[in-house]
Structure 1
Amino acid sequence: MTGWSPDMAKAEDRDSGTVALHRIADALERLSPVPAPSADLSSGPAFHWTGKAMQSIENFAPLPLDMLSGIDDQKARLLENSRRLANGFAAHDVMLWGARGMGKSALVKSVVRVLQQDGADLAMVEAGADMLESLPELFAILGKTGPEQKGRPFILFIDDIGFEEDSAAPRLLRSMLEGGAAQRPANVRLYVTSNRRHIVPRQMAEQDDPVNPRDVLDDKLALSDRFGLRMGFHVASQEDYLAMIARYADAYGLSFESEDALLWAQQRGSRSGRTAWQYVVELAGRAGKSLA
Structure 2
Amino acid sequence: MSNTELQGLIQRAVGVLAQLEAWLPPAPPAIDWSAHAYRWQRRGARGWLDAVHRIAPIQLDDLQHVEQQKSTLERNTLAFLQGKPANNVLMTGARGTGKSSLVRALLGTYASQGLRLIEIDKSDLGDLDQIIDLIVDRPERYIVFCDDLSFEEGEAGYKALKSALDGSVAAPGDNLLIYATSNRRHLMPEYMHENLQAQHQPDGEIHPGETVEEKISLSERFGLWLSFYPFAQTDYLDIVNHWLAFHGCRPEDIQASRPEALQWALSRGSRSGRVARQFARDWAARHL
TM over 0.5: same fold? yes
Please show how residues 119-138 of structure 1 align to structure 2 within 5 Å: 119-138=112-131
The residue identity in structure 2 corresponding to 1:47 is Y
Residues 56-82 of structure 1, C-alpha deviation per residue, up to 9 Å, x if partnerless?
111224311101112111111101100
Percent of pairs with identical residues? 32
Distance 2:213 2:54 in 1: 42
In the TM superposition, residue 129 of structure 1 has moved relative to its aligned partner by 1.0
2:41 equivalent to 1:50: yes
- What residue number does 1:77 align with? 72
Distance 1:126 1:174 in 2: 18
2:186 equivalent to 1:198: yes
Give 3-state SS (helix, strand or coil) of 2:285's partner.
helix
The residue identity in structure 2 corresponding to 1:48 is R
In the TM superposition, residue 20 of structure 1 has moved relative to its aligned partner by 4.2
Distance 1:217 1:36 in 2: 40
The answer for unaligned runs of 5 or more in structure 1 is 1-6, 147-151
2:112 equivalent to 1:143: no
Give 3-state SS (helix, strand or coil) of 2:181's partner.
strand
- What residue number does 2:98 align with? 103
CA contact (8 A) 1:88 1:153 kept: no
Give the count of matched residue pairs: 272
Residues 172-219 of structure 1, C-alpha deviation per residue, up to 9 Å, x if partnerless?
211221121234211111001111101111112212363234322211
The residue identity in structure 2 corresponding to 1:35 is A
Query: Could you state the TM-score of these two structures normalised by the residue count of structure 1?
Result: 0.85
Residues 220-251 of structure 1, C-alpha deviation per residue, up to 9 Å, x if partnerless?
11111111111011222212111111111112
In the TM superposition, residue 124 of structure 1 has moved relative to its aligned partner by 1.0
In the TM superposition, residue 46 of structure 1 has moved relative to its aligned partner by 1.2
Give 3-state SS (helix, strand or coil) of 1:85's partner.
helix
- What residue number does 1:29 align with? 21
Match of 1:60 among 36, 39, 55: 55
Residues 33 and 172 from structure 1, CA distance in 2 versus in 1: closer, same or farther, beyond 3 angstroms? closer
In the TM superposition, residue 31 of structure 1 has moved relative to its aligned partner by 4.1
Structure ID, larger Rg = 1
Give 3-state SS (helix, strand or coil) of 1:56's partner.
strand
Which piece of structure 1 moves more, 163-172 or 267-276?
Answer: 163-172
In the TM superposition, residue 99 of structure 1 has moved relative to its aligned partner by 1.4
Distance 1:258 1:27 in 2: 65
Distance 2:243 2:217 in 1: 39
The residue identity in structure 2 corresponding to 1:133 is G
- What residue number does 1:182 align with? 170
In the TM superposition, residue 17 of structure 1 has moved relative to its aligned partner by 4.9
Give 3-state SS (helix, strand or coil) of 2:284's partner.
helix
User: What is the RMSD of the two structures over their aligned residues, measured on CA atoms?
Assistant: 2.1
Match of 2:141 among 137, 147, 153: 153
The residue identity in structure 1 corresponding to 2:130 is E
In the TM superposition, residue 269 of structure 1 has moved relative to its aligned partner by 1.6
